[in-house]
Structure formats: C-alpha cells, structure tokens
Amino acid sequence: MTTEDHLAVGFIGLGRMGKPMALNLLKAGFVVAVHSRSRGPVDELVAAGAVACAGPAEVADVADVICTCLPDLAASEQVYLGDGGLIANGRPGQVLVENSTVGPRLARSVATSAAERGIGYLDAPVSGGVGGAQDGSLTIMVGGDAAHLARAMPVLAAMGSNVHHVGAVGLGCVTKLANQLLVAVHTLAACEAILMGREAGADAAQLLDVLSTSWGASGMLTLWGPSIVSGEFGSRAPMRLLVKDLALVREVAADAGVPLPLGERTTALFDEAMARGLGETDIAALVTLLK
C-alpha cells in the first residue's frame, strides 16, 4: 500500500468518458494502472505514462483507489463481482469508485460485498459529457462513507471540479438518475419548442437565440438547440446510453412509488428512436420522430 500522498490509481473502462478521465489522473501526477476491453485506448494511455493491466484482478493487485467507467450494468457486475473482479481480488483498505451510471440496487449490492472484505466503495457517477471529462470539470455525485470519500478525494478532484457528497451508498446513483430524467425531458421539450416555432413561421436560429435568454432556457436547449435547428447530429451523447439510464429511472421511481407522467412519455419516444436505429446518434435526433 502506498502513502496517502502517493496513491496508486487504477482505471477500468477507457471509453469516450473514461479515457480523458484517466488522462487527467496522469496529468495530476498519479501512477495509473489501466484496463479496457479495447486495446487501442490502453495503448494511448500507456504512451502517456500509464501501466497496462491484463484485467481487473491485476488492477486490484497494484492500485489503492480504483475507478471504473463502464458501458452497462452487465459490465459493472462482472468487473466488481466476477471471479476475476475487483472485490474477489482486492484487499482491505482499497476504495472502489464506480463512475458509471448504475442503479442504487447494484451499488448497494456491490458495497455490501466490498465491505465484507474490508474494501470501501463509492457510487460516484459523473455529469458533464466528454467535454467535461477532457477538461476535468465534471460534476461528480458521490454516495458512500465519508472516510472512503476522503481517501478517494484527491483522485476525484483530478477529474471533476464539482464533487458532491450526497449521502449513503446508492444516493449518488439516485442523484445522477434524477439528472438523466431532466436531460431526457428537457431534450424533448427543446425539440418540440424549436419544431413548433419553425413550423409556425419563426426563424429557427433567431428563435433559439431568443429562447436562450428567456425563462424557457435550459442546459439541453443550449447544448442541443444548434443541432435541432441544423438537423445535423453526431454521436457525442449516443441515445442508447440515455435509454439505459431511463430504464434505471423507471426502476428507482417504481421503488419510491413516484409517478413519472412526463418521464414515461419521454421514455416511450426514446425507445421508439432506438427501434428506428438511432441508438448511436445524439439524443437531439429525437426531433426526427416529431416531424
């Protein structure tokens, strides 16, 4: 085990978010051990100074604080709970940090298994997109024990400028999913507003300028308005990822006994967009369903 001032950090999952997050850890001076299913990002991180590991077990063998940024629940379950995973191969005193968006049920299950081996666990999903991951300005919503957060804080601070301790394990997930519900509903609202104005005769570009300084403004209007106006969509925020999160939103709402009339209708439209093959397209492409 290294000293508090010289943490060895592990990072598993070097996708569109994970790779820049891990690069920021290297820039902050941490020794970083990395693993990912795709070899290309691993090679990029090694070229920047990271150490490559063959799998989660090897990362667990060398790191004090281990972050994961994984694409789906199955991957998180395997990395944390599998025979070759972090908990089975970890050691007391380590802190595991789940930066992926998972549900509170899974987070609490992983935390329980980790605690049985003396390992800390934080559910710490992030918001801010690829841009926030690149410039280290992510918002990080942390659920878990304060002592575990204190141990991991230097690592989190290298990746995000807004680190919030929101309560016990699972509440990081709940907070992120509340954010994702707003992302989905506000994106649909932006699509409807711009489409309505344009079809009623307003200049779409001017409409966006006016709305952006009016009470109807929102983060999603600012982010996606230009794409909605132009009809040009990339893959910065693939629809499939938000649809995965919306399934977790439904789960949390059902457990809490909270109806989601806007959420349910919005989710149905995103599901339809997936069925039409838009899974890898930016979420603003939802507007194409409304035309």
Just list the catalytic residues: 176
Residue count (the chain): 291
Give CA–CA dist 83/61, Å, rounded: 14
- Six-digit token pair at 60? 């667990």
Q: Return the H-helix or E-strand segment holding 19.
A: helix 18-27
Give CA–CA dist 260/249, Å, rounded: 9
Q: Judging by DSSP bridges, how do beta strands 31-35 and 51-52 pair with one another?
A: parallel
8 Å CB contact between 10 and 66: yes
* Phi/psi-derived region of residue 286, left when phi > 0, alpha when psi is between -120 and 50, beta in every other case: alpha
Q: Report the 10 Å Cβ neighbour count for 40.
A: 10
In 200-290, which residue ranges form alpha helices assigned H by DSSP? 204-212, 219-230, 239-256, 261-275
Distances 103 to 30, 87, 211, 242, 274 between C-alpha atoms, Å: 29, 18, 34, 13, 21
Give CA–CA dist 244/186, Å, rounded: 17
- Six-digit token pair at 44? 């990029």
